[in-house]
Amino acid sequence: MPRTLVTGGAGFLGSHLCEYLLRKDHEVVCMDNLITGSKDNIADIKSDKFQFVEHNVSEFINVKGALDYVLHFASPASPMDYLDFPIQTLKVGALGTHNALGLAKTKGAVFFLASSAEVYGDPLIHPQPEKYWGNVNPIGPRGVYDEAKRFAEAITMAYHRTHRLDTKISRIFNTYGPRMRINDGRAIPNFLRQALTGKDVTIYGEGSQTRSFCYISDLIEGIYRLLVSDQNAPVNLGSPDEMTVKEMADKILQATNSASRIAHTAAVEDDPKIRQPDITRAKKYLNWEPVVGLDKGLRATLKYFKEQLRT
């Protein structure tokens, strides 16, 4: 039975990942400092093959026993969070990644990095293939996250080249689904919360900026396929189904049958104007592409948000 560490395991992606790995018969050590993650996300995991450790991975990581895989998912990930925790975001991308790599090296484990579409910044190439180097403002408000992820990729490749560590890098595009926090601050949770509570749906700027939203189960399947693949180069994981933020807001108003109105607020600094992954590599090497349509994914997410608002 493989033994696996998931940093950020109590977060949105991390908790779904822990559950998936348990289903694949991994023994899972879930590590999180709970600054944006929550024990509620892992409360339903009853397996005796699962262990939670509260720890900030920007500090030295100590795990007793063998490890076959180290999956580094710890980081604030919502723009609102990395504006609230800019230094923690930089530290977990830099020091946290270094610690997680060092641990993987000591244990002889495969290392997996949760990188981000943010490495492409406000892209000048569309859709974004992995060979694109990006257009990032290092000193802007999003720079703390973008540069942390870019550093994380650089040090991951350095460990791969220097120490021959078996490393994988996923560039994760916008993902949604149950366990996003009600007050997460990202577009889908904001729009759902606002629509369900009769508040104005806030669109930052014109709403002509685009995103491509991937449902959580599709993303997790892609992550697992990359983990067990022989791909050491970065692979984009996300949905190519691109839409404007305004279209998403309308879709959510419709799905919730809400009487909320749309309110345009000031545009956000350095907000990427367009984003869509080129998933040619994922299709070719992982035989992966998203299969859950937006309507189905939104229904499941809406159900979760309704439950959360009730409690």
* Catalytic residue IDs: 145
101/183 Cα distance (integer angstroms)? 32
Chain-centroid distance of CA 2 in Å reads 23
188/23 Cα distance (integer angstroms)? 28
Min CB(118)–ligand UDP separation in Å = 7
Q: Can you tell me which of 22, 28, 110, 203 binds ligand UDP, judged by CB under 6 A? A: 203
- CB of 260 closer than 8 Å to CB of 200: yes
Q: Which is nearer to ligand UDP, 5 or 187 (CB)?
A: 187
128 binds ligand UDP (CB under 6 A): no
Cβ-closest residue to ligand UDP? Answer: 186
- CB of 242 closer than 8 Å to CB of 212: yes
196 binds ligand UDP (CB under 6 A): no
Q: Can you tell me which of 7, 89, 209, 260 binds ligand UDP, judged by CB under 6 A? A: 209
Per-position x/- string for 215-254, each x denoting binding to ligand UDP as judged by CB under 6 A, each - no binding = ------------------------------x---------
User: Closest by alpha carbon to 28, among 87, 78, 71?
Assistant: 71
Number of residues that bind ligand UDP (CB under 6 A): 13
Chain-centroid distance of CA 253 in Å reads 25
Q: Can you tell me which of 156, 170, 174, 212 binds ligand UDP, judged by CB under 6 A? A: 174
- CB of 40 closer than 8 Å to CB of 60: no
Q: Can you tell me which of 10, 187, 237, 274 binds ligand UDP, judged by CB under 6 A? A: 187
297 binds ligand UDP (CB under 6 A): no
| Residues 69-98, interacting with ligand UDP (CB under 6 A) | 79
Give 3-state DSSP helix, strand, coil % of the chain, rounded to 5. Answer: 40, 20, 40
Residue reference for tokens 């040090």:
155
Give the orientation angle of helix 143-163 with respect to helix 97-107, to 10 degrees: 20
Interacting residues with ligand UDP (CB under 6 A)? 79, 174, 186-187, 190, 202-204, 209, 211, 245, 268, 271
